[in-house]
Amino acid sequence: MPKRIQRIATWAAALLLPALVCLPGCRQSAPDDLIQNEPTTDALVFVKTTGTETLNKSWAYGNLYKLSPIAPDGIVTPITNFTGATVSDPAVSFDGKKILFSLRRSGDAHRNIWEIDADGANLRQVTGGGGDDFDPLYLPDGRIMFTSDRDQEMDEYNHALAEHLYTCDMDGSNVERVSFNQSDDFDPTVLADGRILYTRWEHFGTMNRFPLFFTHPDGSGTFHMFGPHERNFFHPQPTPDGRIIAIESTMILGDAGPLAVLKLENGPADPAMGGYATHWDVVTPQVNNNGEPWPYGSFKYPMPIGGNQYVVSYSLPAATEQDVDYGLYTFTLEQSGSGTPSDPATFTVAKMQFLYNDPTTNEYDAQLLAPHPKPPVIPSLVDHSVDYGIFLGQDVFNRGTNDGQEVPIKGAIGLNHIDSIAVIAARPTAPGEANDFSANEFEKRALIGFAPVQSDGSFRIKVPADTPISFATLDSAGRGFVVKRTHLAVRPGEQFTKCVGCHEDRVAGGPIPTNPNPMAAMLPAHDLDIPKANWMIINYESTIGPIVAAKCASCHYAGCDTVPAAGTTLDLSAVPDTTTEMRIFPRGYINLSGNGMMAAHQVVDPPFPRRSILIDYVLGLGSQAGRGPHPTAATLTPQEKREFNLWVMLGAQYK
């Protein structure tokens, strides 16, 4: 038996799949209903590239190719014939006649979106300008969506250029950004109802995950769709039965792994109530989800191609990413159970069969080159005559216990009473900006202002449009009680009403409203449509450091008494020191910033003032209740106490 075929057979047997494999040209290995006995326009378009591709980070050379008919002995022909070009992300028009794709030709400065006929004719450039464009998508209204880093904002993890969702007309005009995350948004696809499904990178301090979000084509209505905190999902595609197929992963920026079927009928898996198996099935369970090595190979880019048939990029077992060799395979899914609560659905791979592989290249992102239904057009809600949108939160007391934060109690008195929220805006990092604004994992943020919470837990706020914002409910001492660790945004003129709670338990059929007639809905929105110049920036360099120098450092220096925890010294001097990430800050800032946030005896736990020893001392609360505020020799003013508290809640940044 040839070595390649022997390896495929070994893999298939290990995964308990039928080991029905054969050499290219062995026609019987294709699923019966994919074998074309008559001339047909149905085919696959895919990318052949000389290198590996991971989340738009590859610049390897490649071209678009067509396989027709869809069978192991189908004919492979080039659609493009570039030399030294980077090609990726094909998307087929609804009539099956045209293909959008991302291209950087040899000598070009950037990748842009291009279109070509399915037969290779009429190549034309769609987008241009600064930045790199990826992930094009035909929209039902005749425009296109794509992702781009052209806004020149850096992600929150490694400070590389982040991609966001954009739309434009088919001639490349009227380019408009429609997503406002702080890190990447990528891999958009159109759902049957016209909404857009995509993977969103959320890195908010210590949280680092890739859940699935949905939005409308105009960027309104953006909200979490699927995914817990412990799993990431890449390359999602809707299945014919309304579920989602995707790649499951536990890696950051690693989009290979096992195939998973996401069972939306059981809820968004946030939290994963009833266990992970309730919410999704890993249908290739032997394939690991934590990166190389790949003892059972790895998958990328699953795509429905009609009926119960799918095509996917799969690599045979590989020790490293440099060893992978992705080819194209087909498979079907087998379902047991109807998908009702009394008869839950379970999915497995029924058969997986070899389709095409060139051992000198990787084959990625196969798409069905055929007409497919056009979803309905969702009318735009954007009103560009205004620069604000409105958020309505129904009930801040409607909250689950699944993220480790406290649950506020309606009607509580004393320190646990909640009657206001802080509204916080992100401040994106720009290229070339020194990475010297924080010693912990939090990015720059600013306080827009405060808004009232009604007695029923509702609030309504008018905020700047197209701006990533988050909220924090405040206790009676002004400390963040629950701090939202994700960014939301409203488009101009949008009224966002989906917040029925504050990270409430989410179940099948959507979250259960506890306050369907909120008091705030009957009141004017509290106006926080404030210019950026008036946002409050509270940092160590300009705000907290001078207070520390004037009122704290004289008692807190190297060799001083051990405070506040046995065996530690709280040195608040301005002596330059080096963080665990080898960045230089004043020693006082490092010791108050939460640097090395998992280390013992941290006096600050950003962004949680109620968990921070520093705030206990400053306010004389929590662990220091009854002892009075600290320091006593140089008493802090009410404004200074407030600034310490807000500084921690904003992430304890240096700048």
CA-closest candidate to residue 610, choices 407, 394, 445, 413: 407
Instruction: Tell me if residue 277 falls in helix, strand or coil.
Output: helix
pLDDT tens-digit series, residues 385-418:
999 999 999 999 998 877 778 999 999 999 999 9
Kind and range of the H or E run holding 177: strand 176-177
Between CA 209 and CA 272 the distance in angstroms is: 15
> What's the pLDDT at 558?
79
Are the CB atoms for 412 and 474 separated by under 8 Å? no
Q: Return the domain boundaries, the chain.
A: 3-368, 388-532, 540-649
pLDDT tens-digit series, residues 512-531:
889 999 999 999 999 999 99
Are the CB atoms for 149 and 162 separated by under 8 Å? yes
> What's the pLDDT at 31?
37
Mean pLDDT of 486-502: 94
CATH number of 3-368: 2.120.10.30
Q: How confident is the model at residue 24 (pLDDT cuts 50, 70, 90)?
A: very low
Are the CB atoms for 377 and 440 separated by under 8 Å? no
Are the CB atoms for 246 and 235 separated by under 8 Å? yes
Q: Hey, what are 154's tokens?
A: 């850096």
Between CA 199 and CA 187 the distance in angstroms is: 6
Q: DSSP string spanning 100-125?
A: EEEEE-TT-SS-EEEEEETTS---EE
**Burial class of residue 188 (count of CB atoms within 10 Å of its CB; 0-12, 13-18, 19+):** buried
> What's the pLDDT at 601?
67
> What's the pLDDT at 402?
73
Between CA 88 and CA 52 the distance in angstroms is: 11
Are the CB atoms for 247 and 230 separated by under 8 Å? no
Q: DSSP string spanning 634-651?
A: SPPPHHHHHHHHHHHHTT
8-state DSSP, 294: B
Q: How confident is the model at residue 599 (pLDDT cuts 50, 70, 90)?
A: low
Q: How confident is the model at residue 271 (pLDDT cuts 50, 70, 90)?
A: confident
* Strand order through the sheet with 133-138: 133-138, 144-148, 164-168, 176-177
- Average pLDDT over the chain reads 90
CA-closest candidate to residue 365, choices 433, 303, 307: 303
Kind and range of the H or E run holding 592: helix 587-592
In the chain, the largest separation of any two C-alpha atoms, in whole Å, equals 91
Q: Is the pLDDT of residue 373 over 60?
A: yes
CA-closest candidate to residue 424, choices 369, 468, 478: 468
Q: Is the pLDDT of residue 533 over 90?
A: yes
Q: What is the pTM of this model?
A: 0.92
Q: Is the pLDDT of residue 363 over 60?
A: yes
The yes/no answer on whether domain 388-532 falls in CATH 2.30.30 is no
Between CA 485 and CA 445 the distance in angstroms is: 12
Between CA 414 and CA 637 the distance in angstroms is: 22
Q: Is the pLDDT of residue 622 over 60?
A: yes
Q: How confident is the model at residue 568 (pLDDT cuts 50, 70, 90)?
A: low
Are the CB atoms for 324 and 353 separated by under 8 Å? no
> What's the pLDDT at 141?
98
pLDDT tens-digit series, residues 87-102:
999 999 999 999 999 9
In this structure, of 27-41, 144-158, 281-295, 600-614, the range with the lowest mean pLDDT score is 27-41
Strand 212-215 and strand 207-209: the pairing is unpaired
Mean pLDDT of 571-597: 87
Q: Is the pLDDT of residue 228 over 50?
A: yes
